[in-house]
A and B are shown apart, each in its own frame.
Chain A
Amino acid sequence: MSQPQDKSRRNFVGTAAVAGAGLGTLALAPGLHLIQVSEANTPSQGASGKVRWGMLIDTTKCASGCDACVKACNTENGINETLKDARQGSQWIRKIDLKNPKTGQEHSLPMLCQHCAHPPCVDVCPTGASMKRADGIVLVDRHTCIGCRYCMLACPYKARSLVHLPLTNQNPEVPRGQGCVESCTFCVQRVDKGLKPACVESCPEGAMLFGDLNDPASEIAQRIANEKTTQVRGDLKLNLGVRYQGI
């Protein structure tokens, strides 16, 4: 999606949000506010289409050799299995070192699911197990994943892994298992509690910023509006949720 369209969509969503909020206030009884409803042990509202979660990674701050984000991800999501062939292990986030052979310039950056607005993995999934939540988080529904790996063929970022062996002792909040494909979830179990993804919190340099790309007041939206950012393989026009600086 090109930039102007993106903005007009944001504006539209913003207007709709204001209108919706107005209606909501009118409809509620006096003294009863939305916040109280959620405090009384009822289910949360769920992912909102008004929000688009995104991440901005400043590669100038990212240190080569540091893998705090990878470790935090593995701990949070219970990725602790070891395989004889490392190529068969799952990597939700990995560190990539880049070197420009002409100038010798080097970069280091974490690579993870880019949470595309137009995710090829969702397009190609035969069962609809690959899906995108209303708030832009791309997930695999392991209840319907058949392990065909077509999404792995379609992903331009090598962000997906097949679980190659039976698993035990998973984090109850992060179910994952043999024969299904998986990838970074932006730590959806944390985001739904109002927390940031584990990688973002763990970064000792503060190189990773998480926020709502649709909220013009958010730090991430401000920085993307005012600073130069890059989408990896921008030529594919997938409108990525993860943006990079410094490459």
Chain B
Amino acid sequence: MQTALTNRLEGPSFYALAGIGALISLLGLGAALYMETSGHHVTGMNNQVFWGLPHVFAIFLIVAASGVLNVASIGTVFGKKAYKSRGPLSGLLAITMLAAGLFVIMLDLGRADRLVIAMTHVNWTSVFGWNMVLYPVFFGLVGLYVWMLMDRKMYAYSKPVGVAAFIWRLVMTTGTGSIFGFVVARQAYHSAVIAPMFIIMSFAWGLAAFLLFQSAMYKWHGAELHESIRKRLNGLLGVFIAAVFYFVLVYHLTNIYYAKQTDFEQFILLSGGIFPQLFWGGFVVLGTIVPLLLLFVPSMQRSAGAGTAAALLTIVGGLCFLYVFIIGGQAYPLDMFPGMEVKSTFFDGHIDNYVPSMPEILLSVGGFGVAFLLTLIAVRVLPFMPQDDIAKLQASGALHD
């Protein structure tokens, strides 16, 4: 067993990092309070684009929270030994990122003070209503799972709980995708491919978040990730990025195939200003092509920072995709009268030019602050640092299985 690694992040560097995380979180909280007392007119959101930047960040965090649990699942459910020591950190990030996502989405509500009503009055035909069960059970299952992974006495029970958590996270992300998939009103949504697309996205974004935080942890501890494990994780990220691209391709191709949707696709992919720019520049180039090159071109692959850079770009690409998907989907006008030119005092037939305001930006980024702060405190208090016994893994042949 390699015990040379210290388990915890010590000293002033911890307080400095925690201070930064706390500051970003508090700014987000303050911004939410300001929005709540002034009303949403202080945001860039309006009655056409009513889900703005906070929803982009919150949905990213919620989807990635589900996907980040994959690392633990690969260890427990699929029995890959090299992933087992990463289970606790993966479970921890799942909890903190979901908490952060909910922090953003709850504080953006028009009536954030009515959280209790959301939990006591549930309409079961609503996908949001299901979330009142999906999220708390996810917290509970993953909490239990992390406990079992970290407590020697309970480890024997980790497999069934791990399987349950794995299934539950698939259900949860199916729910997140269905928020949009079931919406018949809009061109951008109402597609059966959205739920599976969100699941694949959760794989990629979650793993990217995991790799990013893991690499930070190794840096704090002055440790280095064993090359063969690094290669495996990077390879997996590459596969997920490619799979996401495939699903996005199918999603757009299906829309283009339906003649009535081609105007919308023309808008979102070509003529819609910021949206095609973010789609091609942000999602396709920065979020897909560059990370794939970093991960698979041999000369780049060898550099230790390639995986981290690819992970960071995957997250940037994910946020760009969601911005185009959520905001672009609303900015494009509803097509109530096909073939007609439409004008009204309520901007029917107009493409909305949503621009996020400062409070929204602070609240959105505050979500990342909350996730970071919670994770940081947890890794300081408990031994979440992955400890690999390379010799043993190698001897059993598990390093490359």
Contacts and interface: CB of A to CB of B under 8 A. Distances in A.
B340 A100 contact: yes
11 contacts: A83-B41, A88-B45, A88-B46, A98-B342, A99-B340, A123-B125, A147-B109, A148-B128, A166-B38, A178-B110, A180-B110
Given A120-B184, A123-B125, A153-B330, A164 B39 contact: yes
Nearest to B44: A85
A149 B110 contact: yes
A90 B123 contact: no
A205 to B, nearest CB: 19
Contacts of A179: 36, 39-40, 109-111
Band of interface residues on B: 35 or more
A208 B327 CA distance: 35
B60 to A, nearest CB: 18
Given A90-B47, A126-B131, A152-B47, A145 B110 contact: yes
Contacts of B397: none
B258 interface: no
B150 interface: no
Closest 9 CB pairs of A and B: A147-B110, A179-B110, A126-B128, A87-B46, A156-B185, A165-B39, A164-B41, A128-B123, A127-B121
Is the contact region of chain A dominated by helix, strand, or loop, or is it mixed? loop
A60 B323 CA distance: 41
Contacts of A69: none
A193 interface: no
Contacts of B182: 124
Contacts of A247: 337
Contacts, number: 179
Interface of A: 67, 70, 83-91, 94-102, 107, 111, 120, 122-129, 144-150, 152-158, 160-166, 178-181, 232-233, 236, 247
Given A100-B339, A146-B109, A155-B185, A124 B128 contact: yes
Contacts of B41: 83-85, 88, 164-165
A149 B123 contact: no
Nearest to B340: A98
With most chain A CB atoms within 10 A of its CB, the pick from B41, B47, B342 is: B47
B344 A97 contact: yes
Contacts of B39: 163-166, 178-179
Interface stretch (B15-23, B90-98, B345-353, B371-379): B345-353
Contact of A127 (B122, B346, B348): B122
Interface string B42-74: 000111101100000000000000000000000
Contacts of A87: 46-48, 347, 352
